[in-house]
């Protein structure tokens, strides 16, 4: 059976060497609309995407919707953690794919797989994702690095995108599918990214190190002190 | 890969020039059944649809289920904000598509894309949407301008409609897909509609204007007064 | 586009003249496992299905899983409201479709569409529904007249069934798709069924009648008494 | 330490021989506002209170808020299951305690403990409960036979009432505190009331009887048939 | 027993003739923090308070926290619906009660009961409410016309305020306790306020009127047309 | 200030040397009603109480409500883990405190502090807890080793008990307040009890031991193998 | 119509004689990330899978992700209840399917159907499941014996897997589809497994046995004692 | 009326000049148990407390429960942001107040008000808070800089602490009550702390600055470009 997603018969997974990342409208004002997940998590997650793209040398394109107006500026982490990102100013188009400069910038990367995150999911992610599938791209939508105004909106944006052949993913899965193996040089940097996305992972590392230090240093138990 | 929705190989998105809107059974009694979202939001959202249709000159057809009985009258906002809407009285048919006058009214618009909202989702939206897909229309069901009696009912109505080729959307995405760009004359009217659908957007605009006024008027900070 | 559900190119909706109903394992012990919806609602809803089947002269087949053991007896409402139902005793098969007597009973009805409800959804509904689709039937699974042991179980049972071509529905939608129109003789009996499934509908009718009585009887307002 | 509730140093529990029941504004329209619990449960529970009052010969007073207007009629179960209830028509007072006829009716019972349920909790229960405590009564507010428009409203109404010395209870606890023992004649009637309030109890009884019947009748297990 | 709230032995209820209203920091930016209830409801509810104060001639004092900075301006509805409100500019004090002008403005009203709403509940409501109780006032905190950054924050702010003798209320209860009776001239204006706070009430009125119109006008049922 | 709970001026904490434990109606049928927490957790938690009582030599009294009828038998873990428990058969009394044998059994222990858990919280815990406070005992109610039929029921049972001077606790806090220190012989047995109550604690211990073993055994990382 | 899942035209159900089980990364540290279901349930459920595999003689392969580091050791229940399981050490590959030894171990079983559970669902289950479908296997993903870091992550992992042709199931359904009938020798062992997965089933059995014992032993009711 | 909390007739609010802070058992392993709030938020919030203490020169005492064992090390942020904190090693006592060194350290500060946060709330916060009240201190428990293993546990720990006279607060309220006014030198540092506790506040500041920059720099709107 052929999987119904837009992978042209390939395993429907991210090939980091053929992928570009598209980060859309992560602006301070639009973040205020996010109700389907924790605002702080959404911000942390899109920052992780920027970091992973840098680590894996994946081209990044950013864009914003009228940042001079109430939607506000892009969050500065994008530039900070993906300094190689190319910013494309739109001329008012809501669907980023309707902006020819943006499509040209994607084409210039030569990549045929897109990793897309954006605010608001049902608009800024769904519209260009569906457009890109229709234009022949393999598209992965990163839902918890995006966000929308209600749980219902999220559920139905998911359904619409999947119906159109977009592949849904979460941030950690994107990082892991790009990383592929712990048997590589930058494994530690990936671990740091997971520590931000998963606060529990950070705690695990701290516990692990203390458990080994306690043994290594022959620490006396507090409860066994005189 | 061909997206599985009912778009006949076109990008599965709303073309405002080929769309008609169908608003079904938004009656005061039926609103009382809505449990999958806030009653007030459902009412605000369907009102936004009426406004957007007027703004984009999209034909609207309204209908009701025995308004002389406990289901009650259509909410007056529909007539108020879409004065061009055509009302079709049904003769008891539960599936609006079973009423020949309603199908004739749709055919008279010459449009082949339908934007449908209704109460109750699993009945008044699902039945005609599935029928319309079967009859060859491209159908967008607007779930948060509709409503149903339980979260389970909503989830399964979504699944049934998507399985049948109906495209699910939320109200804001419908507005944005019709608007297309901020670079147009009625952009401000669209912004006002978003302010109603998204109370947060209203607050953002108020904050934005105050921030600029504070600078423009050289207002002294309260906290720095003598 | 052909809808992907199991409708052989027909509108994927219930045709009451070609439908049989299969009610599986609604036993007192198994009801205790229901956690994805209110036990009381599940019991009311499957009772409504029995009533609608009787009203619309739809054949009903019931079955139970070892009722002599802790699973307990079928609830008596099934016999009470669908006295024409045929009970098939299984010989231990978990998937009711594995019992040849049950399949024979279905075949004897001559119907090719099945409306299925059962406890537990992911087992007693999913197994025979998927089997019946594979055997060429058009199958509608009634999820809120069924029930399962967790929300996750429900969500994944839905996904599995939809993937296999089963059509998901809620109880009220089944009733309405069978009823078709208020312009028929037994409309009032249908209204009574909705009043049980939807307590709000009951209240609406009571409010409606009082509003008309107040006018008809020229009742004085309490707040305007001397 | 003296418990802070309004029990004058007595064990703060219902004494059925000194209690009267006050059922306020359970009208079809007001039921539509109930969002903190299932409408159906609220209706079942207040009906159970009426039944228990009849069983235990507790005087009942009912009242309604302008039933000729959109609030609608009292639900008929109150009269049906507590035919001895006395109805007091108010003259527009929102706080039932502000109506002298109602206070007189309570005084006429000679009881000093009140069991109060009503719609809407934060208004129709809280106002008279607090007034009654202030007037020297011991007051039990039955929250799941009442209901209000949001979870927040419920939480804060609880806090306000407890702060004022009202004792909060649920329906089943009221029934049980009135019943006192299974070692009495009408025990079976109490069990029937619990079966309505707790659908699970109904199922338990059915399972229990079948388990004994299976043994008594030497039923063969389905799974062990030839 | 004496109720533990701050009512000095009086019935702990609002006396509209002795009450002043204090509306604190309902600013566009601070509204963005509200997570314990729907932002739109919080805005609607504080607007209702302003309307009720005007209707009942209750003095209103408003104040804001550095509106020239990111907290933003007070929402304009306050001035619109309570034009008699007195605005007190604070000089940076977080606890409004620490501002002598504000306390002086309250004292100038001669009222000893305060109805307080504010953003953020745990700070802008809790601090001055507790201070006012300590200063001898009877204080009612209106929680759903306020709002805070998490459900936990709300629950613990409630606990702290109740512990300190503040009386918690919801918006509808405040309106009703001020209104007292439907047997008064401005009853209709109160009904309009409830229609905003309770969208369901609006629907009930629409259903009621239609039910009477259908009878009055001898409307034919749609389902009985030829 | 004197804390308002029933501690007679002592620190309101469990003194294991003055405490008896009362475990009421943990019967297989009544467990089916538990909806405010996970049934499995409630069963695990009351078992932990039995274990802790044994470990700390605290007298235990168990009782059941008509176990020959649908309420079913006490769970066997109680006898298994607290073999020293004394079972008191009631004669139909719903409030266990109304049974003189049970009160006598408590008096026979000479303890003046009671740790109480039971099914259903609002009845089987609340009634005897309030009675015991009234009789002069210091009472701790263990809510997550109990359970009731709805979240509302739990919230209001809590409010009623606290109002009456009962001290609410969770299972882990009871264990810890009895344990007092890790610097004692049976510390390891306490750790095992926490591992059951807190599955996370079990995982922590497993991680900790593996972290030390990996160091101790100089295990090679899988990711660094050739 | 052909069901879209990966069943090659067969009924998309588990054939126990053609199935192998793959249990991935159930390590003490990774369990701490599980937020979409109860950690305890996830652990119980994967243990049930191990037991069922042993009972039905299904080959099992286990693997872990760098257990010498903070992810921690595999839980010991896997070895305890599936002693025939083969452990494959990975060399750092995140997608288990990228490890040639693991694929070889699967091929060595000769089975073409895989039952997969793992931590974290969106990574450790989704990656190998999608890879296996692409490699021609029929794959069943057991979601409640897996777990992931948020509800959103779970929902989108489900969508991605279903889109790729993976069949989602819950633990109980897997057990039941493998068991097939109660009319077999090891039926009792299956019942014990359900008792662990479903605590309610355990209670039902206890109630059932007591109900029969009460009759068999002519037990006197407590409530009817003198 | 005297508020019932432990304030000895003073306004029950934090006096920063009389307060010490007690941070208990924020260890990497114990954080894994936190289920009543987001782990990340709990960690951020206790870090904010450390920062505020430093800013306001409030003495801090930290302690841990056997950090050499699975509970793990204190998070390093405490030392980082409150370098003046004094660490007290306990000798196994679960209730920190049972450790004489810790009480001595508190006494050495000369402060009579305690701000307490800890893991687990129902144990590590509740036990010493109640002990401290009993010892005559005024105690504020900071619940969202603490955390416990279930929502029920949190609710009942709150009830127990309030009953005993502990004052509950959230992190932001503690910061604000210590800050008192924006009209002070370190106001900006407080704003930075709020930005961490409230991610929305961070976004507001970014939006505000961009709104003013757009005006100041006469930026052209994207949507109005040629």
pLDDT band for A224, please (50, 70, 90 cuts): confident
Q: Which residues of C touch D (CB under 8 A)?
A: 28-29, 31-32, 38-41, 43, 64-70, 72-73, 75-76, 89-92, 199-200, 203-204, 206-207, 209-211, 214, 219-225
- Tell me: pLDDT of A139 over 60: yes
Clarify whether residues A114 and A29 are in a common domain. Answer: yes
Q: Are H163 and F160 in contact (CB under 8 A)?
A: no
Show residues of chain A in contact with F212, CB under 8 Å.
211-212, 214-215
**What's the pLDDT at C10?**
85
* Percent of chain D residues past pLDDT 90, beyond the cut: 91
Using CA atoms, how far apart are residues G121 and G124, in angstroms rounded to an integer?
6
pLDDT per residue as tens digits for the range F61-120: 999 999 999 999 999 999 999 999 999 999 999 999 999 999 999 999 999 999 999 999
At H146 the three-state DSSP class reads coil
Pick from G39, G102, G108: which is nearest to G75 by CA?
G39
Q: Do A147 and A214 belong to one domain?
A: no
Predicted pLDDT of residue F222 = 81
pLDDT digits 0-9 by tens, E16-55: 999 999 999 999 999 999 999 999 999 999 999 999 999 9
Half-sphere exposure at residue G186, Cβ-oriented, CA atoms within 13 angstroms: 16
Q: Which residues of D touch G183 (CB under 8 A)?
A: 223-224
Tens of pLDDT, residues H157-204: 999 999 999 999 999 999 999 999 999 999 999 999 999 999 999 999
A151 found inside a domain: yes
What is the model's pLDDT at position C5?
59
Concerning whether G175 is annotated as a catalytic residue, the answer is no
**Which residues form the domain of A193?**
188-224
Contact partners, residue H104, CB within 8 Å, separation at least 6: none
DSSP-derived 3-state class of residue A129: helix
Checking if the pLDDT of G4 tops 60, the result is no
Residues D137 and D205 grouped into a single domain:
no
Q: What are phi and psi of C5, to 5 degrees?
A: -75, 175
Residue of C nearest to D28 (CA): C203
Q: D60-64 and D19-24: which strand pairing?
A: parallel
> Which of the residue ranges D14-23, E6-15, E60-69, H174-183 would you say has the lowest mean pLDDT?
E6-15
Q: Is there a domain that residue H3 lies in?
A: no
Alpha helices in D64-216 (DSSP H): 77-81, 100-109, 126-134, 151-163, 171-179, 187-197, 199-216
Q: Please tell me which residue of chain E has the smallest CA distance to D162.
A: E3
**How much is the CA Rg of chain A, to the nearest whole Å?**
20
Q: Where does F65-198 have alpha helices with state H?
A: 77-81, 100-109, 126-134, 151-163, 171-179, 187-197
> Does C176 share its domain with C193?
no
Concatenate the DSSP letters of all residues of F184-201 into one string.
Answer: STTHHHHHHHHHHH-HHH
CB-nearest partner of D4 from E4, E158, E204 = E4
Q: Collect all residues with Cβ–Cβ distance below 8 Å to C186 and sequence separation of at least 6.
A: C55
Mean pLDDT of A67-79: 95
Write down the pLDDT at residue A226: 67
From the list F42, F48, F124, F141, the catalytic residue is: F124
Report chain H residues touching chain A, CB-CB < 8 A. 28-29, 31-32, 38-41, 43, 64-70, 72-73, 75-76, 89-92, 199-200, 203-204, 206-207, 209-211, 214, 219-225
- Closest-approach residue (CA) in chain C for B138: C1
Touch test C–D: 3 Cβ pairs or more under 8 Å: yes
Residue by residue, pLDDT tens for chain C (226 residues) are 334 556 777 899 999 999 999 999 999 999 999 999 999 999 999 999 999 999 999 999 999 999 999 999 999 999 999 999 999 999 999 999 999 999 999 999 999 999 999 999 999 999 999 999 999 999 999 999 999 999 999 999 999 999 999 999 999 999 999 999 999 999 999 999 999 999 999 999 999 999 999 999 999 888 777 6
- Global confidence as pTM: 0.96
The Cα-based distances of D136 to D118, D164, D165, D174 in angstroms read: 20, 12, 11, 21
Please indicate, yes or no, whether residues F89 and F116 belong to a single structural domain of this protein.
Answer: yes
Do E93 and H183 lie within an 8 Å CB cutoff?
Answer: yes
Residue H207 near residue E72, CB atoms below 8 Å: no
E strands along D17-109, which residues? 19-24, 60-64, 86-89
| Closest by CA position to H149, among listed H175, H126, H119 | H119
Question: B34-81, pLDDT tens digit by residue?
Answer: 999 999 999 999 999 999 999 999 999 999 999 999 999 999 999 999
With beta carbons under 8 A apart, name residues in chain C contacting B98.
180-181
Residue pair H58/H19 in contact (Cβ under 8 Å)? The answer is: yes
**pLDDT tens for each residue of G187-199:** 999 999 999 999 9
What is the mean pLDDT of the segment spanning F137-153? 97
**What pLDDT sits at residue H128?**
98
The pLDDT of D173-198, averaged and rounded, is 94
Contact G194, C70 (CB under 8 A): no
One domain for residues G214 and G174: no
Domain count along chain D:
2
In the structure, what pLDDT confidence band is assigned to residue F7 with cuts at 50, 70 and 90? Answer: confident
Distance between CA F124 and CA F64 in Å, rounded? Answer: 10
* pLDDT digit string, tens, across residues B13-35: 999 999 999 999 999 999 999 99
C223 vs D32: CB contact, 8 Å cut-off?
no
Whether residues H118 and H32 fall in one domain? yes
> E225 lies in a domain?
no
**pLDDT value of residue F226:** 67
Site of tokens 């001239």: E185
Same-domain status, C110 and C199: no
Q: D149 near D33, Cβ under 8 Å?
A: yes
Contact B158 A163 (CB under 8 A): no
pLDDT for residue A5: 60
| Residue B214, both tokens | 């504070």
What's the pLDDT tens digit per position in A149-207?
Answer: 999 999 999 999 999 999 999 999 999 999 999 999 999 999 999 999 999 999 999 99
Q: Left, alpha or beta for G66 (phi > 0: left; psi -120 to 50: alpha)?
A: left
Q: Which of E179, E214, E215, E219 to mutate to test the interface with C (most CBs of C within 10 A)?
A: E215
With respect to residue C139, please indicate whether it lies within any of the assigned structural domains.
yes
Chain B CA closest to residue C210 = B70
Give residue E226's pLDDT.
67
Same domain, D174 and D70: yes
3-state SS class at H215? helix
Rounded to whole angstroms, the Cα distance separating C222 from F7 reads: 51
Chain G residue numbers with beta carbons less than 8 Å from the beta carbon of D182 are 223
- Whether residue H1 has pLDDT greater than 80: no
Among all residues of chain D, which has the CA nearest to that of C220? D68
> How would residue D3 be classed by pLDDT, with cut points 50, 70 and 90?
very low
A213 has pLDDT over 90 = yes
Q: What is the CATH number of the domain that holds A26?
A: 3.40.50.850
Please state the rounded mean pLDDT for residues F9-36.
95
Looking at residue E137, its pLDDT comes to: 97
SS3 E87: strand
Q: Is residue C3 part of a domain?
A: no
State what percent of residues in chain F have pLDDT above 90. Answer: 92
pLDDT score, position H2: 36
Contact (Cβ atoms closer than 8 angstroms) between residue H46 and residue H34 = no
To 10 degrees, the CA torsion angle through F183, F187, F188, F190?
-150
Is B226 domain-assigned?
A: no
Q: How far is CA F136 from CA F5, F7, F132, in A?
A: 12, 9, 6
Per-residue pLDDT, G221: 85
Tell me chain H's radius of gyration from C-alpha atoms. Answer: 20
Q: What is the pLDDT of residues B124-143, one digit of tens each?
A: 999 999 999 999 999 999 99
Q: Both F53 and F148 in a single domain? A: yes
pLDDT above 90 (res E97): yes
For C146-173, letters b (16+ CB in 10 Å) and e give: bbbbbbbbbbbbbbbbbbbbbbbbbbbb
What residue in G sits closest to C121 (Cα-Cα)?
G173
Q: Which residues of B touch A (CB under 8 A)?
A: 1, 3-5, 11-13, 36-37, 143-144, 154-155, 158, 162, 167-170, 172-173, 176-177, 179-184, 187, 198, 200-201, 203-205, 207-208
Residues G176 and G204 in one domain: no
Instruction: Flag if F94 and D203 touch (Cβ within 8 Å).
Output: no
| G198 found inside a domain | yes
Task: Report the run of H or E that residue C33 belongs to, with start and end.
Answer: none
Q: Determine which one of H124, H142, H143, H161 is catalytic.
A: H124
- Residue B117's alpha-carbon distances to B17, B62, B82, C177, in angstroms, are 19, 10, 14, 18
The catalytic residue among D60, D74, D114, D124 is D124
Residues of chain C by 3-state class (helix, strand, coil), percent to 5 = 50, 15, 35
* ipTM surpasses 0.90: yes
pLDDT tens figures, H142-169 = 999 999 999 999 999 999 999 999 999 9
For residues H173 and H192, state if they share a domain.
no
pLDDT at res. C176: 98
Q: Specify the range with the lowest mean pLDDT, choosing from E8-17, F33-42, G94-103, H146-155.
A: E8-17
pLDDT value, residue E6: 62
Residue H11 belongs to some domain of the structure: no
Number of CB pairs, chain B paired with chain E, less than 8 A apart: 111
| Coil/strand/helix, residue D20 | strand
């Amino acid at each position: 059976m052929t999987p119904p997603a837009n992978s042209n018969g390939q395993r429907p997974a991210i090939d980091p060497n053929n992928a570009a990342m598209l980060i859309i409208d992560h602006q301070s004002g639009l973040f205020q609309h996010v109700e389907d997940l924790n605002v702080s998590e959404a911000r942390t997650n899109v920052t992780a995407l920027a970091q992973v793209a840098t680590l894996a040398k994946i081209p990044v394109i950013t864009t914003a919707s009228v940042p001079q107006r109430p939607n506000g500026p892009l969050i500065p982490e994008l530039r900070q953690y993906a300094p190689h990102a190319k910013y494309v100013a739109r001329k008012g188009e809501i669907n980023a794919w309707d902006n020819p400069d943006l499509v040209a910038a994607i084409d210039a990367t030569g990549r045929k797989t897109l990793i897309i995150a954006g605010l608001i999911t049902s608009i800024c992610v769904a519209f260009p994702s569906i457009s890109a599938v229709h234009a022949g791209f393999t598209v992965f939508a990163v839902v918890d690095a995006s966000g929308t105004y209600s749980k219902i909106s999220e559920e139905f944006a998911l359904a619409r995108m999947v119906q159109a052949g977009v592949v849904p993913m979460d941030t950690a899965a994107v990082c892991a599918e790009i990383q592929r193996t712990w048997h590589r040089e930058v494994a530690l940097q990936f671990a740091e990214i997971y520590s931000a996305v998963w606060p529990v992972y950070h705690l695990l590392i701290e516990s692990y190190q203390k458990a080994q230090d306690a043994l290594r240093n022959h620490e006396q138990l507090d409860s066994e002190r005189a």
